[in-house]
Structure 1
Amino acid sequence: MRLPFLFVLTTVMIDAMGIGLIMPIMPDLIVEVQGGSLADAAIWGGILSTAFAAMQFLFGPVLGNLSDAYGRRPVLLVSLFVMALDYIVMAIAGSIWLLLAGRIVGGITAATHSTASAYMADVSKPHEKAANFGLLGAAFGVGFVLGPMIGGLLGEFGTRAPFWAAAAFAGLNFVIGCFVMTETVTDANRRPFHWRRASLFGAFRAMTNIPNIAPLLWVYFLYSVSIYVYPAIWSYFTQERFGWSPQIIGLSLGIYGIGMAAVQGGLIRPIIRWLGERGAVIYGFVFEVVSFLLLAFLTNGTIALMLIPITALGAVVTPALQAIMSKSVPDAQQGELQGVLTAVHALSMIVSPLAMTAVFAQFTREGTLFYLPGAPFLVALVLMVIGSVIFLRARISVA
């Protein structure tokens, strides 16, 4: 089981690398193919991110249910193959509309995060779930370390170079997966595929019928909307506020990824042991609120770089919440649960880029009444506080 375990972690890492590779060059790429100002590029960046997320939102439950019925292996391998082809298309795209089409296909292939999480649920004992979900987060963090740093360096060779690298990584992992990935869905935990349950609303209805899941889904949604402020506006915010180059932006995202990987891959185990899953969520909320408040008004780029590892200390929230919900769901519905969580996260990725980039553009455009590039972080702070209140009021039974 060791090689399949590593393959799943690598798949999640490559998903993050693919996103991180292109983040440092997206402002320049959008200006290159579309023209206009940085504020205009931020709006288009929000549209591209929203298209990506909309597909995750629609297809997360579908792929989760497919993996419950037909297995984790075929869903992961087919998605990796299509992902590699999608990056090739984006590498040669000459218009904003082809980039948009690429993000639509990419969003469908990236919906397999639910399948990776379901695999972790399959192979984990109840007391191991938070830590193993944390390993998925750590793999994502490692991808965020490598992706932006490599993307920033490759950006020196042109805005298309990172896409070719992303295609190569996805293609190589597909080949490896064909040889090492084994199946964890058996007759004991297989559930027939039904479009009624695979549809977005059918999957949500099935999950919300489980006691106490609904408020936790709201918490997960509000947290995801808040935390997505980083990828939504970070490249634009740091360029506007601190004058950072793509290389520095890539470095900063890499530092955050290192911090997140350290927290979710290592620190989460003692944190869960000391505080429990509920306490870990509360602890994470506190760190995120403080981080947003500091970044909203910070004007020194050096201090911002120093604060980035501290902001990553709140990264325990997602795996702890996943573990709490996973323990409440039968084994045959793990893929369905993870599909719903992927859809909830994707919905936040629809809402957050549009809202956060619009707020950023409003507070940075020429002639604005109040100049504040960090305004999106204040919006995220308010949403984070609301999510923490819902969580504190929810009835949660954890080990």
Structure 2
Amino acid sequence: MRFILLTVLLDMVAIGLIIPVLPVLVGQFTTDKAAQAFWYGAVMVTFGVANFFASPILGALSDRFGRRPVLLMGFCGFAFSFFGTALATELWMLLAIRVVSGALQANVAVANAYVADITSPENRSKRYGQMGAMFGIGFIIGPVTGGLLGGIDVHLPFFVAGSLALLNLLYGYFVLPESLPVERRRAFSWRSANPVASLKHLAELKNVGGLVVVIGLANLSQFILHTSWVLYTTFRFGWTSVENGWSLLAVGVASVFVQGFLLQRLLKRFGPSKLASYGLVSSTVAYLLWALAFQGWMMYAVIAFNLLGFTVAAAIQGIVSNAADPRTQGQSMGAVASLGSLAAVVAPMIGAPLLGVVSHLPPTDWRVGAPFFFCAALMAVSTVLAFRHFRHQPRTGFDAAASAVH
């Protein structure tokens, strides 16, 4: 577990480094705010499209050949993406680089399958929470460092991120052990590895079913947040890359605190089903408050308010992983990642145009929060579906245990 946690940490630091500066880099190739929002969305979409089709395939390949070689291939894709982006001189180069890197990169899906390989079912939500804490630490270190480096040169964070990806490749090659025994591997099938078949398989898992829609809507709102945050705070509050880096650091601190320290206690008290439901309610309110914020400090206040929102992914991830067969963890986690990739494709098509439409409005106009109002609506629907799903499903052993204790 220590090996995979360090792998995830290095990945997330590398990703976090470029978040505050990628919109700025895209802006160097455009002439106005609306064009910047449009092309930033296009750059994000290309990665998501490639990753949507590739994630279930790479997940199934990890079921056949093991997790380690697919992870190493993902590190290569990361390094190519970062260095290529730093050296790009035209928008079409950025788009082409994102396609290739999206097709090669399925680290999150394979890392989740890796955790399932080495963890007992009752501890998986806790382990996914630890991975979430690594994500949070990555967002503590990455964005603020990226913002500071971007203040020196907008290309510098990409070179640093590429170097971290190469370090991860070397670490994985020499240190990271294989987690999937040969006897638990299964034959690869193109028919079952395509995204549609993988999502159908995911929906057919016992106790999952309708959660597929919940996961999809929650992912969509989260990716709209990711793709809109920097431009939204720039338009609304006039934040620079440095200030955006600090705000993303606050997100990382909250994530580490919740998933690294509170999650295990919350799971014992409520169980994964109730915890996921309460977290969805919290997130719905948080999106609405972000949309209505009229001063920068309010963004930080909402981050602190939305602590339960940081528990949703780990709780649902544990439910899905426990429902999957040990021999199909890669395919199942690939399907979950594919849902995330699909959301990453759709999100910029929604968030960026919404920002483009309101970019001419005064910063104090409430309509500037349009992307976050839309996210709040998505989360409200997701919350209703989750409550309905859990009400009609038999309680898991973990939920029952939580109820018995409290």
TM-score range (shorter-chain normalised) is: over 0.9
1:31 equivalent to 2:24? Answer no
- Native 8 Å contact 1:363 1:371 kept in 2: no
1:306-347 C-alpha deviation (Å, 9 max, x unpaired): 332333431111111111111111100111110000000111
- Native 8 Å contact 2:21 2:150 kept in 1: yes
Aligned residue number for residue 258 of structure 1: 253
1:128-162 C-alpha deviation (Å, 9 max, x unpaired): 00010111111111111111111001112211101
Aligned residue number for residue 298 of structure 2: 303
Q: State the alpha-carbon separation in 2 of the partners of residues 21 and 233 from structure 1.
A: 17
Q: State the alpha-carbon separation in 2 of the partners of residues 375 and 208 from structure 1.
A: 31
State the Cα distance separating 1:184 from its structure 2 match. Answer: 1.6
Q: State the alpha-carbon separation in 1 of the partners of residues 137 and 159 from structure 2.
A: 20
Superposition TM-score, scaled by structure 2 size: 0.93
Q: State the alpha-carbon separation in 2 of the partners of residues 231 and 352 from structure 1.
A: 9
1:164 equivalent to 2:159? Answer yes
State the Cα distance separating 1:271 from its structure 2 match. Answer: 0.7
Q: State the alpha-carbon separation in 2 of the partners of residues 143 and 398 from structure 1.
A: 32
Change in 2 beyond 3 A, CA 1:212/1:313: closer
Aligned residue number for residue 325 of structure 2: 330
1:70-110 C-alpha deviation (Å, 9 max, x unpaired): 00011111221232133111111101111112222222333
- Native 8 Å contact 1:259 1:313 kept in 2: no
1:364 equivalent to 2:364? Answer no
Q: State the alpha-carbon separation in 1 of the partners of residues 35 and 255 from structure 2.
A: 31
SS of the residue corresponding to residue 396 of structure 2 reads: coil
Q: Which runs of 5+ in 2 are unaligned?
A: 398-406
Q: State the alpha-carbon separation in 2 of the partners of residues 35 and 19 from structure 1.
A: 23
1:120 equivalent to 2:115? Answer yes
Q: State the alpha-carbon separation in 1 of the partners of residues 328 and 381 from structure 2.
A: 29
The AA in structure 2 aligned to 1:18 is: A
Aligned residue number for residue 401 of structure 2: none
Q: State the alpha-carbon separation in 2 of the partners of residues 198 and 172 from structure 1.
A: 30
1:290-321 C-alpha deviation (Å, 9 max, x unpaired): 11111111111123233323334311111111
Q: State the alpha-carbon separation in 2 of the partners of residues 38 and 198 from structure 1.
A: 40
Q: State the alpha-carbon separation in 2 of the partners of residues 78 and 294 from structure 1.
A: 40
The AA in structure 1 aligned to 2:180 is: V
Q: State the alpha-carbon separation in 2 of the partners of residues 27 and 201 from structure 1.
A: 32
Q: State the alpha-carbon separation in 2 of the partners of residues 301 and 207 from structure 1.
A: 40
Q: 1:347 aligns with which of 335, 339, 342?
A: 342
Q: 1:15 aligns with which of 11, 20, 35?
A: 11
1:147 equivalent to 2:148? Answer no
Alignment of 1:267-282 (within 5 A): 267-282=262-277
Aligned residue number for residue 136 of structure 1: 131
4+ runs deviating over 3 angstroms = none
State the Cα distance separating 1:50 from its structure 2 match. Answer: 1.2
- Native 8 Å contact 1:295 1:374 kept in 2: yes
Point out the more displaced range, 93-102 or 334-343: 93-102
Point out the more displaced range, 379-388 or 76-85: 76-85
Q: State the alpha-carbon separation in 1 of the partners of residues 81 and 166 from structure 2.
A: 11
How many pairs are equivalent?
393
The AA in structure 1 aligned to 2:9 is: M
1:54 equivalent to 2:49? Answer yes
Point out the more displaced range, 206-215 or 80-89: 206-215
1:245-290 C-alpha deviation (Å, 9 max, x unpaired): 1100000001101111221222111111111101111111121111
The AA in structure 2 aligned to 1:17 is: V
Superposition TM-score, scaled by structure 1 size: 0.94
1:181 equivalent to 2:181? Answer no
Aligned residue number for residue 92 of structure 1: 87
SS of the residue corresponding to residue 374 of structure 1 reads: helix
Structure 1 vs Structure 2: percent identity of aligned residues?
A: 33
Q: State the alpha-carbon separation in 2 of the partners of residues 302 and 223 from structure 1.
A: 25
- Native 8 Å contact 2:290 2:298 kept in 1: no
The AA in structure 2 aligned to 1:27 is: P
State the Cα distance separating 1:231 from its structure 2 match. Answer: 1.1
SS of the residue corresponding to residue 327 of structure 1 reads: helix
The AA in structure 2 aligned to 1:220 is: I
Q: State the alpha-carbon separation in 2 of the partners of residues 20 and 175 from structure 1.
A: 20
Q: 1:398 aligns with which of 396, 399, 406?
A: 396
The AA in structure 2 aligned to 1:268 is: L
- Across the aligned residues of Structure 1 and Structure 2, the Cα RMSD in angstroms comes to 1.7
Point out the more displaced range, 124-133 or 308-317: 308-317
Q: 1:314 aligns with which of 309, 316, 336?
A: 309
The AA in structure 2 aligned to 1:16 is: M
SS of the residue corresponding to residue 209 of structure 2 reads: helix
Q: State the alpha-carbon separation in 2 of the partners of residues 60 and 217 from structure 1.
A: 16
Point out the more displaced range, 139-148 or 165-174: 139-148
SS of the residue corresponding to residue 266 of structure 1 reads: helix
State the Cα distance separating 1:366 from its structure 2 match. Answer: 5.7
Q: State the alpha-carbon separation in 2 of the partners of residues 366 and 279 from structure 1.
A: 40
Q: State the alpha-carbon separation in 2 of the partners of residues 345 and 271 from structure 1.
A: 25
State the Cα distance separating 1:26 from its structure 2 match. Answer: 2.1
The AA in structure 1 aligned to 2:2 is: L
Aligned residue number for residue 6 of structure 1: 2
The AA in structure 1 aligned to 2:231 is: Y
Q: State the alpha-carbon separation in 2 of the partners of residues 285 and 29 from structure 1.
A: 34
Aligned residue number for residue 223 of structure 1: 218
Aligned residue number for residue 45 of structure 1: 40
Point out the more displaced range, 212-221 or 117-126: 212-221
- Native 8 Å contact 2:3 2:176 kept in 1: yes
State the Cα distance separating 1:212 from its structure 2 match. Answer: 4.1
